[in-house]
């Protein structure tokens, strides 16, 4: 009985830590579909896992991005004025490729 309980506790802790350490995959930004189409670029793909490898969660959350899919109203105007992807530590700095390299972010096929 006690053994079963111990085993159950052990298993739930193991499962929790696996769930916790799993990296998020690619997040597609495509809610501005009409303007993307007009500009002739595809949706932007944000490789979350790749950014997790380089930065800490609180480098981005919550000060640059809310940690909820679709909760950030990202536009190029905001990116260019230093918000979101265009933060001065990020794609508006020598640390990462610049904002004019459109196709490095807008990687998904045009719709």
Residues that bind ligand HEC (CB under 6 A): 24, 27, 29-32, 35-36, 39, 41, 44, 46, 48, 51-52, 55, 57, 59-61, 65, 67-72, 74-77, 79, 85, 91, 99-102, 104-106
- Nearest distance from C-beta of residue 23 to ligand HEC, angstroms: 7
- Nearest distance from C-beta of residue 17 to ligand HEC, angstroms: 14
Contacts of 66 (CB under 8 A, 6+ apart): 72
Is 51:60 a contact under the CB 8 Å cutoff?
Answer: yes
Q: Which is nearer to ligand HEC, 11 or 67 (CB)?
A: 67
Place of tokens 């109203």: 73
- Nearest distance from C-beta of residue 97 to ligand HEC, angstroms: 7
Q: Which is nearer to ligand HEC, 69 or 95 (CB)?
A: 69
Q: Which is nearer to ligand HEC, 6 or 62 (CB)?
A: 62
Reported in sequence order, the residue ranges of the chain that DSSP labels E, i.e. its strands, are 26-29, 44-47
Is 73:58 a contact under the CB 8 Å cutoff?
Answer: no
Q: Which is nearer to ligand HEC, 4 or 56 (CB)?
A: 56
- Pick from 102, 86, 81, 82: which is nearest to 39 by CA? 102
Q: Tell me the HSE value of 44 on the side-chain side, using a 13 A CA sphere.
A: 20
């Amino acid at each position: 009985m006690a053994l079963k309980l111990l085993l159950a506790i052990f298993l739930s802790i193991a499962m929790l830590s696996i769930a916790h350490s799993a990296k998020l995959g690619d997040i597609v930004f495509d809610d501005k579909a009409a303007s993307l189409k007009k500009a002739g670029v595809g949706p932007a793909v944000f490789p979350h896992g790749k950014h997790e490898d380089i930065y800490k969660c609180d480098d981005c959350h919550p000060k640059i991005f809310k940690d909820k899919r679709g909760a950030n109203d990202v536009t190029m105007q905001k990116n260019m004025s230093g918000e979101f992807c265009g933060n001065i530590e990020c794609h508006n700095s020598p640390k990462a490729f610049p904002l004019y390299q459109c196709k490095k972010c807008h990687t998904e096929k045009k719709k």
